[in-house]
Structure 1
């Protein structure tokens, strides 16, 4: 059983009570939070096999836990070559090999949803195209595990398992966004099952008895407050996969800090036709969530000496993040429930190792517990919904602020500010002999003009700089500012800058293209590309831009 800890997670948890007197307001980018995450990652990188709850072998235990560690590490560092990430990928390949063998009675192997879901999440996050074959195999296995009524559970069980259903539908949502062909009638069946088995109180049970279609909801046994997070997350994830509330989370990123406000681009949807005919009443879904919220509001969670606290935090973050888009809310970087969780995690982090669950003996184990704590701290689900950029800084903290001299300490970027006037800055940049910007950085509040005529003039000057300035400092700043603009016309100039002799200019151009286009995963151009990788990325960006502006002619590439 993967992370067998997960099987009992929801059965032991209650909802966290939101304290109204939280002293501090945190975001995932605060220094204190980033330092906690960095220390947690060090713990995961150095974890001994004995620290893993079920060792480091076995389909559902160690292999699944390896995948969870890899997924967590990659969500923060975005480094596919990191040792723990490679170990996780190797573990998933072993799992895929077992599935493809067709054997279901391998000694020591337990087939279940959790490990399969984490495997899907890892491969899709690292490289959904490279691992498309493996993702399709995992998809087929998920179908094998899904019950006819839409639920997920252990093979041979008679009742659907709310906890496992959450991970099954999360894997389906991930496959959906990876462009893997899906059977959406299965998704709709899962959502309808979740609505049927919701307890009249608004919560969900651990093991759910299905009253059957068209019948009133019945009182369920073992209804736990934490099941509201699991059941609620499941129905929200299914609703998003079915696009019950549209595609706003994928086409308009203006609600997220740093995103250009005017950009709404078409994102290809490989499953749009397959989604037709799979219907669920969106009002019933929202009604179920409102009932769940009422249930949670009347429930207080007090941590027991030995429970699944860290796993519950991650589940809550998932519930709240999907609820934001379902209800059309602006993403909140510092909600009260997050602030409380950070306050508590500060006290629970082991002072020596940096892990969580080391001394308090959380049922999930210290390795999985640390993963869950980190995923909560970085708002992992919110990032997944926003298609967070693999080309950003560690922790997905956005494009670098320093445009001429980057100094990195951990996950923090530091530099010295320069004058805030764009006009003054442009004048300095256009003087090729001016080295005044050496060691300086672009100010936090540096903004291009809002007046259309002034903006066009500034962009013209920046495009000339990025294409022809003799100063690498000038080209860096120009590429950085072009990447922040709301004007699609700068894309050809940024594509041109991909082949700049200065590696920093190339990175700013690449990140700017990802930012403007909303293709956050980019086209596989590393920080130090080979000539072949560079040409491939240039060609891919040109082809993409021609889908937006078919009449454009690239004359200087």
Structure 2
């Protein structure tokens, strides 16, 4: 299949729509027997299974320990994602990994035998999730090592001197390198985007024409995709999930400009060009790859992959989490319930899970599926990240207002005086007004506080009820950044908004204001969850302002 976007003809469109319906039916059948209970990470039986798994890791892991760094990272992640960050094994795992980083921090000094790509990616993910400030130097060294190990075609894999797979990229290993770099960026660590650019193209060129991926990827030599040997569903999910991670920086779902480049990263700013950094992958290619991958997964998906089952389920959770981030929540069958029921059914008496990876890794993988590890990382980045624009959320409409800062795509803050900001509300150019208001959400809280003086805050409160969803979103973001408790009633009112994205933004703003780091409303929340959140925030506000009044 050519890399250029192919225009579907009127004759072909009904066929494609029929195929899509068939694919959806296949996926529904795969889940039909497992959706009755509607399990979530908070379900009592799920939480009990997680605790039994952690107990095994706590008491039974020692007998299997072989000093593998990836195993250390998995144990640390399992406890961390299950909300046991203070467990001694978390700190112990972090210290073991940190001590394994060569004192020189030079990529060539990392022993390849110990720092395989699996272990490297998992170690990066864990340290960035646990304490990116304390371990910043080690994280930076690991990132440099990953760059050093990336192959010329863009993938990661076995060492170059490996007789069988030295030349190819490994879809399985590459997914952990990609996720590790994503975690580093969300943690505010400077990351050169060039490796992500290269791996994105590798993922496109090693995709099978049918949308799947093989264990070892063979890049297409030209503009036609080539058949990949040994395509299987586990690698299809892994490859497509990695492509979604790349897409989360690019906003490929947006319509293209005349030059075929994305609205968000259509043109790299001058400062980045001076550094020689450039995103070269067209979002049209990424979107085509995602569509092929999604179709393949919908046609071939199963909960029991038949091999590396628990490693696979962790990949499934990552795929759906990033797909939701990039494409929005779809009308998908309840994959989580199906996977959770499978795990509950197959948990061993000692609390472990066991397949080809071994008891410790498989138990950690199972736990990370059950607690929605990737969804937690995405939510954390949205709520408390260092301003990274995850999934393109908040990117300006024109690329003249973006730049690469320390390797991250960020919006250029529009710094205007209070008088200039006041004039925005009367500006007939609504698009320009919204651009400036949106910029408030990308500025620091201190900057916003200085701007929201006199009646500007009142005007923003009025804007929170504007007919335009874009205007309401801009107002909610700005009020949330202000750090002023007087805006809490407006933010609670925004929880009733018909636009789910605005509701989630208001909930995030309230958690920032209240310093509550507990999980908030989930994407795809229902009306009961919304009502409970409104009641909870009203109760909290009345606990500090007993005379508070609400409009609803």
Query: TM-score, normalising length from structure 1?
Result: 0.58
Task: Number of aligned residue pairs: give it.
Answer: 363
Match of 1:94 among 95, 99, 102: 99
Tell me if the contact between 1:388 and 1:520 (Cα under 8 Å) persists in the aligned partners. no
Report the equivalent of 2:366.
373
Paired with 1:166 and 1:489, the residues of 2 have a C-alpha distance of 34
**Residue aligning to 1:199:** 208
Say yes or no: does 1:38 pair with 2:44.
no
In the alignment, the residues of structure 2 paired with residue 512 and residue 197 of structure 1 have an alpha-carbon distance, to the nearest angstrom, of 38
| 1:266-319 deviations in Å (ceiling 9; x for gaps) | xxxxxx9589731322232222122122222332648487x3111100001101
CA distance in 2 between partners of 1:318 and 1:114 (Å): 16
Q: 1:229 is matched with which residue?
A: 237
Equivalents in 1 of 2:303, 2:130: separation in Å?
Answer: 37
Q: Tell me how far apart the structure 1 counterparts of residues 516 and 289 of structure 2 sit (CA, whole Å).
A: 33
Structure 1 residue aligned with 2:75: 69
- Structure 1 counterpart SS, 2:115: coil
Quick one: structure 1 residues 174 and 384, their matched pair in 2 at CA, closer, same or farther if it must change by over 3 Å? same
Question: How far apart in 2 are the matches of 1:16 and 1:46?
Answer: 39
Alpha-carbon deviation of 1:356?
1.3
Secondary structure, aligned partner of 1:516: helix
The Cα shift of 1:159 comes to 0.6
Matched, 1:18 2:22: no
The DSSP-based 3-state class of the residue aligned with 2:202 is helix
Match of 2:170 in 1: 161
Runs (4+) of structure 1 moved beyond 4 Å?
A: 101-106, 242-246, 272-276, 300-305, 388-391, 485-490, 511-514, 517-522
- Does residue 316 of the first structure (1) align with residue 316 of the second (2)? yes
Q: Distance in 1 between matches of 2:317 and 2:347?
A: 19
Q: CA deviation at 1:241?
A: 3.5
Match of 2:226 in 1: 218
Query: 1:186 matched to which residue of 2?
Result: 195
Kept after mapping to 2: 8 A contact 1:16/1:300: no
Q: Residues 68-122 of structure 1, C-alpha deviation per residue, up to 9 Å, x if partnerless?
A: 101121112252x42111221122112212773666585x934321111111111
CA deviation map 1:162-205 (0-9, x unaligned): 11111111111111112222221221111111111111111111
Q: Does the 8 Å contact 1:310/1:373 carry over to 2?
A: yes
Within 5 Å, give how 1:320-331 maps onto structure 2: 320-329=320-329
Q: Distance in 1 between matches of 2:303 and 2:382?
A: 36
Q: How big is the alpha-carbon RMSD for the aligned residues of Structure 1 and Structure 2? A: 3.8
Match of 1:128 in 2: 132
Q: 1:49 to 1:275 in 2, by over 3 A?
A: farther
Cα gap change, 1:285/1:303 in structure 2, threshold over 3 Å: closer, same or farther? same
Name the CA shift for 1:323/1:512 in 2 (closer, same or farther; >3 Å).
Answer: closer
Report how far residue 47 of structure 1 moved.
Answer: 2.2
* Consecutive unaligned residues in structure 2, runs of 5 or more: 1-26, 161-165, 255-270, 385-456, 462-476, 487-506, 519-552
Question: Any residues of structure 2 matched to 1:121-520 within 5 Å, and which?
Answer: 121-156=125-160, 157-212=166-221, 214-242=222-250, 244=252, 277-299=278-300, 301=302, 303=304, 307-329=307-329, 335-351=333-349, 353-357=350-354, 362-387=355-380, 488=480, 491=483, 515-516=511-512
Q: Give TM-score scaled by structure 2 length.
A: 0.59
